[in-house]
Chains A and B, each alone.
Chain A
């Protein structure tokens, strides 16, 4: 039996990903389980989902505690969530990260494959929903499921144009994922404490961040009043963003009457 854990953020489709993967593996004659984690599934908040793959009937109904494979749908998630927790020695990590695996800040006796799923998703879907791209990367890196059965399940799940778009993300990631590299010689980046539960810092939630052009800001206070996070304050008649409280929802950029706020992709 192979156990897989998916880490993502609410809205990136971790639960949908395990469902599609389970159906695809079922088509190949495997016994599968897709388990969503019940909790606060808010958009942007860290979530997990689990998958079991067996050659025979699976009687376990528990959550997965010691996965063989971990899939990380978000490039910044591993800075705050212990994604390798419980991962078996020699286990595989498939991570959404635009740089080589040795620079991801993950160390230990694991293999790490990376792919720029956010970039692929923005290209194929126009939105940073990375689940289908990561399924393509998972298929290539793990070799557990064929691309054909994934494609078939995907089109059943989303018939029409949406399915075609997701198919493109799946195939591109299948081609672009790096071969797994050994990260046992790498010093793991120290995790910040589990602050996400009652945090003051939500900066890792965002994919786009607001950038203010001070010359164009007329101090109208629209961004300030519409910000759901109190991340914008008015200093001497100009807006100022506190990036530790900003989740990157983009309301300020949308509502700015002079176009002084633009949303730019967060650099890693």
Chain B
């Protein structure tokens, strides 16, 4: 299990170039910075189509392919190639968006997990295809407004619940699966450092709010991310060899209303819809708490 890294233990060295072309207050930019800081040296990075080219100026050998669905295959190839030349010490890491993980890239992800490839898959989840203007993805929360699920006379936003890919990966038997959030850097860094030391398929799903697509002021990125964790919309947990552990377990969750109302994409919600989201969050949380410290299946 991972151990949170206190901020004063962090080195000052940066592995990313200052200033990037991401939006102001980009959550994904924080993810790429923290990931590179945690892994330090000795990793190669795979990248597929996403906002990444705008902000991931990470100083590491990087391979970019435009093939949106190809992240799993790409990382598999790099990892097998490194094995062939006897460099299994090099970590193969990909920072992949939620579209390239949850929808388009899912077959590659699932197959790579099945084969237990020696890769570290970091999904930075802004809950839609933000690079192309914010179309809904499988990771979009229920009732969220996106450009393909707009609010109008006959539409109330996304009608489906989000796919729970971290648990899917855990059920496929991946050695290490974790969720994390940009608002909890100590926890995120700890999980990355722990994952670095494991062989096999590792999956970390990071909630990274997007001010442009979610419709909030850029200064509130961390506030929104923190609110999602504190309200149970984004629980922090890890599954190591089939044992689940909650990393953030408050005595009582905050109501979801507050964090939903901070975001423009949920501004249209009425009380009934908020209640439904609240009920689903409560159910999922209850099940997670029941599994805490035990086997997930």
Contacts and interface: CB of A to CB of B under 8 A. Distances in A.
A89 interface: no
A202 B26 CA distance: 14
Interface string A224-260: 1111111101100000001011011111011100000
| A interface majority secondary structure | loop
B16 interface: yes
B7 A249 contact: no
A158 to B, nearest CB: 13
Contacts of A43: 23-25, 211-212, 218
A55 B111 CA distance: 60
B19 A228 contact: no
Interface in A39-89: 40-45
Interface in B32-88: 33-34, 54-55
Interface string A182-223: 000000000000000011111001100000000000001110
A248 B19 contact: no
Contacts of B29: 228-229
A199 B7 contact: no
Q: How large is the interface on A (under 10, 10 to 19, 20 to 34, 35 or more residues)?
A: 35 or more
B154 to A, nearest CB: 18
Interface centre among B34, B54, B185, B219 (most CB of A within 10 A): B219
A3 B221 CA distance: 39
B7 A42 contact: no
Contacts of A228: 20, 22, 25-27, 29-30, 33, 55, 221
A230 B7 contact: no
A230 B221 contact: no
Contact of A251 (B7, B8, B33, B219): B219
Contact of A42 (B18, B22, B221): B22
B25 A249 contact: yes
Contact of A229 (B19, B220, B222): B19
Interface in B253-296: none
A11 interface: yes
Contacts of B25: 43, 228, 249-251
Contacts of B212: 10-11, 42-43
Contacts of A44: 23-24
Interface in B211-240: 211-212, 217-223
A40 B23 CA distance: 10
Nearest to A226: B222
Contacts, number: 107
A229 B219 CA distance: 13
Given A249-B25, A249-B218, A201 B19 contact: yes
A15 to B, nearest CB: 11
A98 to B, nearest CB: 21
B276 to A, nearest CB: 26
Given A42-B212, A226-B185, A251 B21 contact: no
B23 A202 contact: no
Contact of A41 (B17, B133, B217, B222): B133
Interface string B176-196: 000000100100000000000
A205 B22 CA distance: 11
A10 B25 CA distance: 13
A253 B133 contact: no
Nearest to A224: B7
Given A200-B17, A200-B18, A249-B218, A225 B23 contact: no
Contacts of A40: 21, 54
A231 B93 CA distance: 25
A249 B219 contact: yes
Given A42-B22, A42-B23, A202-B19, A254 B185 contact: no
13 contacts: A42-B21, A42-B23, A198-B21, A200-B19, A202-B20, A228-B20, A228-B25, A228-B26, A230-B14, A234-B12, A247-B19, A247-B24, A251-B222
Interface of A: 10-11, 40-45, 127, 198-202, 205-206, 220-222, 224-231, 233-234, 242, 244-245, 247-251, 253-255, 263
Given A40-B21, A251-B222, 19 more contacts: A11-B212, A40-B54, A42-B22, A42-B23, A43-B24, A200-B17, A201-B19, A221-B8, A225-B10, A225-B185, A226-B221, A228-B26, A230-B17, A230-B18, A233-B12, A244-B19, A245-B19, A250-B218, A251-B219
